[in-house]
Structure 1
Amino acid sequence: MSEMITAEEHRMAAEGPEMEIVHLLRAVTVELSLHSARFANRNGMHPTDVRALIALMDARRAGEEMSAGRLGGTLGLNSAGTTAVIDRLERAGHVRRVRGRTDRRRVVVEVDERAVELGQAFFGPLIGRVVELLRGHDERELAAIRSFLDGVREAAAEAD
């Protein structure tokens, strides 16, 4: 008795495993975007505010200062849009404007510890699950995953 192959299964087989992974990556991106939108909604934030907090936390983790101009460039915003985001986040107590450590004339934006805790409370369980999934892979597999994701990030950054 032969099994019937659906049109979708036939299409996926014709596309190959590469396209299957591309579609899976797209689905992951959509799910992560929805998760981030839920966080924004529950905390009365604009999705761009969440992206700004992520950029600020990434800079903090790297030990780098983030000026308003650099933040705007990272987010793809003009000066007025960047100021609006920073003002909203500052009013909510998520960020503060402070003098730079190395150049006291420079004003930089820092994420407040309360924002870090808020993000950890919401995103922590998801991060924990991802870490557990990664622990199931050996160093060679982790290197391949890292290389692939870094390549996708670079390709997306260049795609205009």
Structure 2
Amino acid sequence: MTAARSRRKHDDPDLEIFHLLRAVAVEYGLRQAAFAAEHGMHVTDVRALIRLLDAERAGIDATAGFLGAGLGLNSAGTTAVIDRLERLGLVSRVRDVHDRRRVLLKVEDHAKDLGWSYFGPLIDKTVSVLPGFDERETAAVRLFLQTALDALTSQPT
């Protein structure tokens, strides 16, 4: 089947959900860009902070290599991002207590407070609807978002 023939029709109701997801991603990207501009950062710096916060939440030691892979950057680009974030007092480099040769990246509390002051109301408003969902609805939302994430991360950038 050719690419043109495999495309869904523009009025396919299943696409509405994907289009909503895409609209959310675009709007969130615009908020990230506004936050970055307001705080003297590049939007890649904001993405880096998000990656580092996600790693912290998951209990993953974040190194420069981890961050670069997560952002699709080479070592020079990764170093530039880390240097900018360090200059802004948002990230620090710390020696791994288990392997002193390894340097880990730590998001400073100031960065968390800054992010929460900006994105907190958006997060609160977004998740406030979830208590109204039953377990099956919550599971369906989680499954859809995880499947979308898996589809995106399985495609080369």
Corresponding residue for residue 145 of structure 1:
141
Q: TM-score under structure 1 normalisation?
A: 0.88
Listed as ranges, the matches of 1:85-96 within 5 Å are 85-96=81-92
Q: 1:30 aligns with which of 17, 26, 33?
A: 26
SS of the residue 1:97 aligns to: strand
Q: 1:81 aligns with which of 68, 77, 99?
A: 77
1:67 and 2:63 correspond: yes
In the alignment, the residues of structure 1 paired with residue 125 and residue 86 of structure 2 have an alpha-carbon distance, to the nearest angstrom, of 31
Superposed structure 1 runs of 4+ greater than 4 Å apart: none
SS of the residue 1:135 aligns to: helix
Following superposition, the deviation at residue 75 of structure 1 comes to 0.5
Corresponding residue for residue 132 of structure 2:
136
Structure 2 alignment gaps of length 5 or more: 1-8
In the alignment, the residues of structure 2 paired with residue 28 and residue 14 of structure 1 have an alpha-carbon distance, to the nearest angstrom, of 19
The one-letter amino acid of 1:133's match is: V
* Distance change (3 Å), C-alpha of 1:87 and 1:140: same
CA deviations over 1:28-53 (Å, ceiling 9, x no partner) = 11111111111111111000000000
In the alignment, the residues of structure 1 paired with residue 24 and residue 10 of structure 2 have an alpha-carbon distance, to the nearest angstrom, of 22
Corresponding residue for residue 4 of structure 1:
none
Matched residue pairs, number? Answer: 148
1:40 and 2:36 correspond: yes
The one-letter amino acid of 1:110's match is: K
Q: TM-score under structure 2 normalisation?
A: 0.90
The one-letter amino acid of 2:104's match is: V
Give the alignment's Cα RMSD to 1 decimal: 1.3
Q: Which piece of structure 1 moves more, 21-30 or 113-122?
A: 21-30
Listed as ranges, the matches of 1:115-126 within 5 Å are 115-126=111-122
In the alignment, the residues of structure 2 paired with residue 106 and residue 41 of structure 1 have an alpha-carbon distance, to the nearest angstrom, of 32
SS of the residue 2:128 aligns to: helix
SS of the residue 2:27 aligns to: helix
1:99 and 2:99 correspond: no
In the alignment, the residues of structure 2 paired with residue 79 and residue 16 of structure 1 have an alpha-carbon distance, to the nearest angstrom, of 43
In the alignment, the residues of structure 1 paired with residue 116 and residue 98 of structure 2 have an alpha-carbon distance, to the nearest angstrom, of 29
Following superposition, the deviation at residue 14 of structure 1 comes to 6.4
Identity %: 57
The one-letter amino acid of 1:55's match is: R
Structure 1 alignment gaps of length 5 or more: 1-12
CA deviations over 1:61-80 (Å, ceiling 9, x no partner) = 11221010111000100000
